[in-house]
Amino acid sequence: MFPMYVVSLAVFMQMTKVRAHQLLLDEGKLVTFVRSMGRAIFVSHQWVGSTSPDPDFSQLQVLQEALRNVMSGKVFISDNLISKSRGESTTLAAADFTAEPLFIWYDYFSCPQTLEGSDGELMKYDLSRAIESIPGYVEMCDHFVILAPTLKHVDQGSMMSFRSWNKRGWCRAERTARLLSTVSTSMIVIESPTRLEVSVPLETLWCPVGLGDFTVNADKKKVGHLMKLLLANKLQAILATGKFHDYRISLNLQSNLLKNLPIPPVADTLPSLQKDNNNNNNNSNNNNDNNNANNNSDLVPREDEQSATVQQFLHQNGFTSIHERDEGG
Same domain, 17 and 68: yes
pLDDT at residue 304 tops 60: no
Q: 248 by DSSP, 3-state: which?
A: helix
Beta bridge partners of 105: 42
Instruction: Indicate the range of 85-89, 146-150, 208-212 predicted with least confidence.
Output: 85-89
Same domain, 43 and 60: yes
Same domain, 90 and 227: no
User: pTM of the full predicted structure?
Assistant: 0.83
pLDDT at residue 144 tops 90: yes
Taken in order 236, 238, 241, 244, the sign of the CA dihedral is negative
Q: Which of 269, 284, 300 is the last residue of a domain?
A: 269
Q: Which of 231, 246, 269 is the last residue of a domain?
A: 269
Cα 39 versus chain centre, distance: 18
What range defines the domain where residue 231 resides?
A: 212-269
Instruction: Provide the pLDDT for residue 123.
Output: 83
Same domain, 81 and 14: yes
Same domain, 74 and 179: yes
HSE-CB at 249 with a 13 A cutoff on CA atoms is: 11
256-283 mean pLDDT: 69
246-260 mean pLDDT: 90
Same domain, 68 and 83: yes
User: How far lies 283's CA from each of 93, 246, 261, 289, 297, in Å?
Assistant: 57, 30, 41, 12, 18
pLDDT at residue 328 tops 70: no
Q: Is residue 321 part of a domain?
A: no
> Residue 185's pLDDT band (boundaries 50, 70, 90)?
confident
Cβ atoms of residues 209 and 168 within 8 Å = no
Phi/psi at 64 (5° precision): -60, -50
Same domain, 308 and 172: no
**Total number of domains in the chain:** 3
Same domain, 24 and 140: yes
Q: Which residue has the higher pLDDT, 253 or 83?
A: 253
Instruction: Provide the pLDDT for residue 288.
Output: 42
As a whole number of angstroms, the distance between CA 21 and CA 207 comes to 30
> Residue 295's pLDDT band (boundaries 50, 70, 90)?
very low
Instruction: Provide the pLDDT for residue 117.
Output: 60
Q: Please state, as a whole number, how many other Cβ atoms lie within 10 Å of the Cβ of residue 100.
A: 14
As a whole number of angstroms, the distance between CA 129 and CA 122 comes to 11
Same domain, 249 and 293: no
> Residue 316's pLDDT band (boundaries 50, 70, 90)?
low
Cβ atoms of residues 8 and 15 within 8 Å = no
pLDDT at residue 273 tops 50: no
Q: Is residue 106 part of a domain?
A: yes
Q: Is residue 105 part of a domain?
A: yes
